[in-house]
Amino acid sequence: MATVAFTPNLQRHVPSPTVTAAGATVREVLERVFADNPRLRGYVVDEQGALRKHMAVFVDGQQLVDRAAQSDAVGPGSEIYVMQALSGG
Amino acid sequence: MPTDAPLLVSTRKGLFEVRGHGAAARIARAHFVGDNVTLAIVDRRDGAWYVVLDHGHFGVKLHRSDDGGATFTEVAVPAYPAKPEGFVDKDMWGKDREWALKGIWALAPALDAPGALWAGTLPGGLFRSDDRGATWTLCEALWQHPTRVKWNGGGADHAAIHSICVDPRDPRCVVVAVSSGGVWRTRDAGASWEPHTKGMKAGYVPPEQADWPEHQDPHCVVQSPSDPTVFWCQHHMGIWRSTDDLASWTQIVVEPTSFGFPVAVHPREPATAWFVPAHSDQKRTLIDGKVVVNRTRDGGQTFTALRAGLPQEHAYDLVFRHALDVAADGEQLAFGSSTGNLWVTDDQGDRWHQVAGHLPPIYAVRYG
């Protein structure tokens, strides 16, 4: 199970506590999180599933490579941070 | 008789609700303070408020209030379909155009069904909801129109549908205006569309393309509620009016400038309209630092520059295309500026009253 934490800046719009979820890729993990918290989806990805332009995701300290499909691999004990990028906004 | 409906003022840092008329107008409440509110309207049929937020990092959201602003519920936003494999849709920079919501620039009640809405979006989409924003459907006929991929930015990097006029004679007849992509009308609730730009000219393309519909940049289009054959347009190149139900447009020249963004038409007098001019395309500010509203009562033959109550020195206020509105009574108007000034009148603009001078940049003002 990966651990997924969300930027505190998101909390006033959509409560999004740190959770654990299974999955082999970031997309698979996020899909499980969104299944339990449907409103969160549109705040993190757009309608085509791409990571929003000014969002940043880190997996075990490494910035996400595949922003369009989030196919980056996730290990069983991975830590995923969904953050605001210091751009735009 | 003044109306008691709220005036909703959408700004870069919140939504402000104004109550009262003329000199007595005051900000009664602030909503979504700190958030980027790009548009808010009241559906006069059921009193619902619809508020568009652009959170930047977190995307564009839509909230509805069913209790006059006491509480808000997030509803759905329009969603674009997946782009078909191999479909070529490039923007003006030659990049693949993303089929993803970048903004909602127009909201209008769809008068053929209770609770139905039209939304104009960036990039270049028209969506319809039949359930007060719970779900949205893309108007495929306009999205698939062969000229749509040629629509470009104008006011934003993406083409935008910013004006929606639902015909009071037949609510299945809808006119939309696009920056920059022209003026379009459906007579069958969106199933088919025809351009209506005859007479308009664009000065920012080669001369032989000056009258192409997709090149026209109407900044704002309004339809007269009392004579729906009359339309007014503040265009990038100046002011145009149609008095023949969009068969043609006639240019109207106002001295010293016809440049600007918003237009409002009187609810019962089709020949009466208001504009807030700016210096020019090249200088997006005021002439000589003076805030002026231009009013015509004779269909554009003559204009009166309304100045009473407005600053006449060192003002640099730009008024965006949705930041002027006239109330249903035809007496009250409001406009707000890029530098956070908000003015109202209750005598059609003969005298203006400043409601606030330190608001965030104002994107839209709309009477309920």
Cβ neighbours of A34 in B, within 8 Å: none
A2-6 and A79-84 strand pairing = parallel
Q: Does B58 touch chain A (CB under 8 A)?
A: yes
pLDDT averaged over 10-residue windows placed end to end, chain A, 89 residues? 96 96 98 97 98 96 97 96 80
**Which among B56, B74, B100 has the least Cβ separation from residue A48?**
B100
Residue A8's contacts (CB-CB under 8 Å, 6 or more residues apart) are none
Choose the mutation target among B57, B73, B77, B157 for the interface with A, i.e. most A CBs under 10 Å.
B57
Contact status, residue B231 vs residue B221, Cβ threshold 8 Å: yes
Nearest to B100 among A9, A13, A46 (CB): A46
Per-residue pLDDT, B5: 82
In this prediction, residues B265-276 reach a mean pLDDT of 98
Mean pLDDT, residues B81-88 taken together: 94
Q: Does B322 score more than 70 pLDDT?
A: yes
- pLDDT at position B3 over 90: no
Closest CA to B196 of B223, B176, B210, B180: B176
Is residue B36's pLDDT more than 70?
yes
Across the range B105-117, mean pLDDT stands at 96
Delimit the domains of chain B by residue range: 7-367
Cβ of B58 and A13 within 8 Å?
yes
B287-322: b or e for each residue (b if 16 or more CB lie within 10 Å)?
eeeebbbbbbeebbeebeebeebbbeeebebbbbbb
- CA B2 – CA B23 distance, rounded (Å): 13
Q: How many CA atoms does the CB half-sphere of B192 hold within 13 Å?
A: 3
Write down how long chain A is. Answer: 89
Burial degree of B101 (CB within 10 A; 0-12, 13-18, 19+): buried
Cα-to-chain-centroid distance, residue B86? 34
**Chain A contact present for B13, CB below 8 A:** no
Mean pLDDT of B209-220: 96
Q: Percent of chain B scored above 90 by pLDDT? A: 95
Question: What does the alpha-carbon distance between residue A29 and residue A70 come to, in Å, rounded to a whole number?
Answer: 10
Contact in structure between B92 and B78 (CB atoms under 8 Å): no
pLDDT at residue number B2: 40
Shortest Cα distance, chain B CAs vs residue A37, angstroms: 14
**Minimum Cα–Cα distance from B83: chain A residue:** A48
A1 touches chain B (CB under 8 A): no
| Whether A42 and B77 lie within 8 Å, measured CB to CB | yes
- pLDDT at residue B1, as a whole number: 36
Mean pLDDT of chain B: 96
How large is the average pLDDT for residues B330-340?
97
φ, ψ at A43 (rounded to 5°): -85, -20
**B212 lies within 8 A of chain A by CB:** no
Contact status, residue B338 vs residue B347, Cβ threshold 8 Å: no
pLDDT attached to residue B4 = 67
Tens digit of each residue's pLDDT (9 = 90 or more) over B50-73: 999 999 999 999 999 999 999 999
Calculate the CA B276 to chain-centre distance: 13
Task: Give the pLDDT confidence score for residue A89 in this predicted structure.
Answer: 47
Q: What is the domain partition of chain A in residue ranges?
A: 2-84
Q: What mean pLDDT do residues B131-144 have?
A: 98
Name, in order, each residue with C-beta under 8 angstroms of B257's C-beta and a sequence gap of 6 or more: B277, B278, B279, B280, B287
The CATH number corresponding to B7-367 among 2.60.40.3080, 3.40.50.410, 2.60.40.10, 2.130.10.10 equals 2.130.10.10
Between chain A and chain B, how many beta carbons pairs sit less than 8 Å apart?
Answer: 42
Specify whether domain A2-84 bears CATH 3.10.20.30.
Answer: yes
pLDDT in tens, B275-313: 999 999 999 999 999 999 999 999 999 999 999 999 999
Task: For chain B, say whether A11 makes contact (Cβ under 8 Å).
Answer: no
**Continuous H helices in A37-78:** 41-44
pLDDT of B257: 95
Q: Yes or no: say if B262 and B321 are a contact pair by the CB < 8 Å rule.
A: yes
3-class DSSP assignment, residue B186:
strand
Contact A47 B100 (CB under 8 A): yes
Interface of A with B in 35-64 (CB under 8 A): 39, 42-44, 46-48, 50, 52, 54-55
In angstroms, rounded to a whole number, what is the distance separating the alpha carbons of residues B151 and B241?
Answer: 22
Residue B185's pLDDT band (boundaries 50, 70, 90)?
A: very high
Contact A83, A56 (CB under 8 A): yes
